[in-house]
Amino acid sequence: MEQTFMKERKILPLVLAMSLPMVISMAVNALYNIIDSYFVAKVSEDAMTALALVFPVQNFINAIAIGFGIGINAGIAFFLGAGDQTRANRTATQGMAFSFVHGALLTAGCLAVMPFFLRSFSADSEITGLALTYANRVFLFSPVIALSLSFEKIFQAVGRMKVSMFCMMCGCVANILLDPVMIFGIGPFPALGIAGAAYATGIGQCITLLAYLLFWFLGSAPVAISPGFLKPDITIIKKMYSVGISATLTLALPSFLISVLNGLLAAFSEKYVLVLGVYYKLQTFIYLTANGIIQGIRPLMGYNYGAKEYGRVKKIYHTSLALNAAIMAIGMIASWAVPRQLIGLFTDSAETIDIGVTALHIISCGFVVSAVSITCSGALEGLGKGTQSLVISLLRYVIVIMPAAYLFSRRFGANGVWYAFCFAEFVSAAAAAVIYHMQTSNRRGTEHLSAS
């Protein structure tokens, strides 16, 4: 099975064909997250609080698994583009082996630290007990998560986006169906409460992995995973981790940012904290759509870069930038056209809705320009330049927005935090454009990127 279509098809249809399956699957994943929380909230408010306490650690596990998977993705795409089948096979094989080790270590480490972690945030024994009940079950599936997400990135690296979409949706749909059955007890199933939510999540992840294995054994991927390719290759390992560590940190930064901003907003009112949470639920659909485009172009960038098709690399970048800008424009229009209805999905409080409307109006002014940072960061990961991508993410989530939020909140009150979002997007976009240009116009093998 050849991947030459990545350097032969017209750019716009190619980018859309690679991206749309991922956009759809990520939309289903976003829907699953909301439904999962909805059913847990029906158990009790304490159960929902317990789930919220465990979430940052779950997000950390996913960040490591996805981040390293992106490193595998970048390596495979590059070596296939360069015509080096053997090293592509070694990348896939060694990447899967490391992923399993990561999952096993995460299971042991997270189970060990959870009692101490939970006591740092809550003194309520009922809540911490529920959180441990959930964590002690759901974290057992960390190796499964790591392997399934690595398979996802391998199939994406070779252009099999529909396989990734199908396998991800199998797990998400199974989880959605199992949640009420295992939480409340339907038919022959006993009511397991929050433990049932953990089992439903774990079973859904197992189904996703089984679906990937089925496609793998049917020969749907042009890279091999075999013991013969397990001999460590330092160059390959370094390439995977250089991109993977940066991608992991990038994925983990938003959680850190939310914690810091919650601390600032809590000083004004818990209503502002609620609005921040609602905003992140709403923006997920916009930014996940843009992330679907990024997932689609990563292998295209890596393959064409490896094949020295520098003109196509530049066109892929500009096409994805235009698509992401259009997505962000839709988000901005919705934030101004129906903000009250959007916030009203999550609360009936008129005061909270008013705060949310103001927040959406201010924050959304930075949506369109954020397309530059998002596209530059994803394109650089596709080119194997994970460190430069991380710098952009650090600017967006730490270096610019956190000091700005603190200073602006002292001048404009709680609304200053919303202004900080917008300010950070403009500053980060300018820096991202400079970083991307510097990395694609240097004279160590990529000068053609800016010459086409």
Q: Which of 117, 71, 120 is nearest to 98 (CA)?
A: 71
Contact between 11 and 312 (Cβ < 8 Å): yes
Contact between 72 and 240 (Cβ < 8 Å): yes
How many alpha carbons lie under 13 Å from residue 422 in its C-beta half-sphere?
16
Whether this prediction's pTM lies above 0.85 is answered by: no
Q: What DSSP character marks residue 121? A: T
Task: Give the pLDDT confidence of 435-446 residue by residue, as tens digits.
Answer: 998 887 764 444
Q: Kindly give, in sequence order, each residue whose CB lies less than 8 Å from that of residue 281, ignoring residues fewer than 6 positions away.
A: 34, 346
Share above pLDDT 70 across residues of the chain, in percent, rounded to a whole number: 92
Residue 303: per-residue pLDDT:
80
CA distances to 60, 118, 295, 317, 325 from 286, rounded to whole Å, are: 22, 32, 15, 19, 11
Structural tokens at position 356: 């949310």
Tell me whether residue 452 is exposed, middle or buried, using C-beta atoms within 10 angstroms of its C-beta: 0 to 12, 13 to 18, 19 or more: exposed
Task: Give the pLDDT confidence of 334-358 residue by residue, as tens digits.
Answer: 999 999 988 887 677 788 889 999 9
Task: Mean pLDDT check: name the lowest of 16-30, 144-158, 208-222.
Answer: 16-30
Contact between 217 and 358 (Cβ < 8 Å): no
- The single-letter code of the amino acid at 243 is V
Q: Which of 345, 369, 376 is nearest to 424 (CA)?
A: 369
Does an H or E element contain 151, and which?
Answer: helix 142-157
How many alpha carbons lie under 13 Å from residue 127 in its C-beta half-sphere?
17
Does residue 122 register a pLDDT over 70? no
Task: Give the pLDDT confidence of 212-260 residue by residue, as tens digits.
Answer: 999 888 876 778 888 888 888 888 888 888 878 877 887 788 878 877 8
Structural tokens at position 439: 């990395």
Q: Kindly give, in sequence order, each residue whose CB lies less than 8 Å from that of residue 422, ignoring residues fewer than 6 positions away.
A: 362, 363, 365, 366
Task: With both helix axes pointing from N to C terminus, report the angle between 45-81 and 386-394 in degrees, rounded to the nearest 10.
Answer: 150
The phi, psi pair for 83, rounded to 5°, reads: 80, 20
Q: Which stretch, 82-91, 269-278, 413-422, has highest mean pLDDT?
A: 413-422
